[in-house]
Amino acid sequence: MTLDASTDPLRAAVGVSIRRARQASGMSMRDFAGRCGLSQPFVSAVERGLSTPSIATLYRMAEVLGTEPSTLLPSHPPDDVDVIRADEGQLVPSSDRPGSALGRVVLADADRRLEIYEYVIDADDDLDVWYDHPGDVVLHLVEGRLRVEFTERPAVELDRGDCLVHPGDVPHRWSVVGAGHVRLFLVIIRR
């Protein structure tokens, strides 16, 4: 995904956050890219706000930088009440693979140690990626049917209205059940 950074302030903000964290760590762009398993031109494009890292790449970057992924995402000003409008939030791919599902970052709040994503996934979107990350996962299925597989636990099928809670560090992946689409909210709570 590429866009002029001047037309996408959220993408630019992610790039600035990543660049600041990398520079604060004392890593060169080349060293950082190598540790993340990415190309230096891609990291440069991300830092300049021209490309968006996938969720998987953002987690890898945060791990290399020794920080939480939410610190690399733009956050809303701290307040007692947050209102996030339906048209707010950056779209990010779930993985680096072509055709991966897109999720909207609803909220990334490092102070609250909370991340909220909304996904609308079609049956042909690529979800065949295993994830594991710190924190607890709360998944609420709004529409459709979803299968969640675990490496160390039995798979679970969710129907509309179901909610699943599990540790994020247990490797997991999703698949759409049937030919329709799925809409869900994913909440990650850091301990």
Class of domain 5-72: mainly alpha
Between helix 40-47 and helix 9-25 the angle, nearest 10°, is 120
- What tens digit of pLDDT does each residue of 16-55 get? 889 999 999 999 999 999 999 999 999 999 999 888 888 8
- Could you give the C-alpha distances from 24 to 13, 21, 50, 146, 175, in angstroms and in order? 16, 5, 21, 40, 38
For 128, residues 6+ apart whose C-beta sits below 8 A from its C-beta are: 173, 175
* CA atoms of 72 and 21, how far apart (whole Å): 8
Q: What Rg, from alpha-carbon coordinates, does the chain have?
A: 16
Q: What is the pLDDT of residue 2?
A: 38
pLDDT by residue for the chain (191 residues), tens only, comes to 333 444 467 788 888 889 999 999 999 999 999 999 999 999 999 999 888 888 889 889 999 999 888 888 876 555 667 788 888 888 888 888 888 888 998 988 888 889 999 999 999 998 888 998 889 999 999 999 999 999 989 999 999 999 999 999 999 999 999 988 999 999 999 87
Residue 188, phi then psi, degrees to nearest 5? -115, 125
Q: Which pair of tokens denotes residue 20?
A: 């600041």
User: For residue 178, with 0-12 CB atoms within 10 Å meaning exposed, 13-18 middle and 19 or more buried, which class applies?
Assistant: exposed
What is the predicted pLDDT for the residue at 3?
38
Provide the residue ranges of all domains of the chain, joining segments of one domain with +. 5-72, 91-189
Which CATH superfamily hosts domain 91-189? Jelly Rolls (2.60.120.10)
CA 122-141-170 angle, to 5 degrees, is 95
